[in-house]
Amino acid sequence: MTASADSVAFSDPVYREAVVDLLAAVGYGEVSAFERLAEDATLAPTLEDKVALGLFASQQIEKVASICARLTELGADPFTAMDSFRDGFESFHAHTAPSDWWEGLVKAYVGDGLANDFYREIAAFLDPQTRDLVLTSLEDTGHAEFAVDRVRAGIAADPKLAGRLALWGRRLMGEALTEAQRVAANRDALSALLAGGVDMPGLDLAAIGRMFARLTERHVERMTGLGLAH
């Protein structure tokens, strides 16, 4: 979009609502990731791991400031907007509570990766400023490499761990896709954006199916990176 097209986009209340919804979802996701990484740190087997997760957690919460600032610019209360996603996130986490350090590592890597891929797919329909903010907020700060290194080392030390974590990864995938589909279906503005944003072609049902197929393919790639058969 050009600058003038940006203005046209935000003159559409449905588009503005979609942007607010997406930014709020990304923002609450950062808050949730902060809380989860802090909790995972209590399960860490070494002080080095505890400190590493603490640093990753702090990096997640630092990203929230720019999301809040943009939501405020759009005339939304950032905390009210983000809090509207609380139930969805808490439902997902209630169904996927890790039982140990290893499951926590896989959940943070695989679950966050899938959610971030979903948000990136939607970001393709946004104005450049918002798209850049979303993509910047989703950038990995080193946690992915940390998770892969620890999980692969764990499997090398105990090969039986691979089977259990592979099953766990499948469960995470199912729960995360269900939640992504629920968000896309229950947020009218996001659904409208996917169906046809301002000056952009929308996605038909077949294209939406391909989008979720891409999400699945990237999940398989992550599991492979962890050394886990999907």
Query: Residue 230: what pLDDT?
Result: 53
Token pair, residue 176, equals 């995360």
Quick one: the chain helix, strand, coil %, rounded to 5? 80, 0, 20
Report residue 47's pLDDT band, with 50, 70 and 90 as the boundaries.
very high
Q: What is the pLDDT of residues 168-200, one digit of tens each?
A: 999 998 888 888 777 767 777 777 777 654 444
Q: What is the pLDDT of residues 59-71, one digit of tens each?
A: 999 999 999 999 9
Token pair, residue 78, equals 């950032």
Query: Residue 8: what pLDDT?
Result: 54
Rounded Cα distance, 156 and 190, in Å:
43
Report the 10 Å Cβ neighbour count for 184.
18
Where do the structural domains in the chain lie, given as residue ranges? 3-226
Rounded Cα distance, 157 and 171, in Å:
24
CA proximity to 88, closest of 193, 225, 185, 216: 185
Which pTM does this prediction carry?
0.86
Whether residue 155 contacts residue 223, with contact meaning beta carbons closer than 8 Å, is answered with no
Residue-averaged pLDDT of the chain: 86
Rounded Cα distance, 229 and 214, in Å:
18
Query: Residue 6: what pLDDT?
Result: 56
On the question of pLDDT at 223 being above 80, the answer is yes
From 1.20.1260.10, 1.10.10.10, 3.40.190.10, 3.40.50.1370, which CATH number describes the 3-226 domain?
Answer: 1.20.1260.10
Whether residue 119 contacts residue 138, with contact meaning beta carbons closer than 8 Å, is answered with yes
Query: Residue 204: what pLDDT?
Result: 60
Q: What is the pLDDT of residues 9-43, one digit of tens each?
A: 677 888 888 899 999 999 999 999 999 999 999 99
Element at 220 (helix H, strand E): helix 205-226
Query: Residue 136: what pLDDT?
Result: 93
On the question of pLDDT at 1 being above 50, the answer is no
Query: Residue 187: what pLDDT?
Result: 78
Q: What is the pLDDT of residues 104-140, one digit of tens each?
A: 999 999 988 888 898 888 888 888 999 999 999 999 8
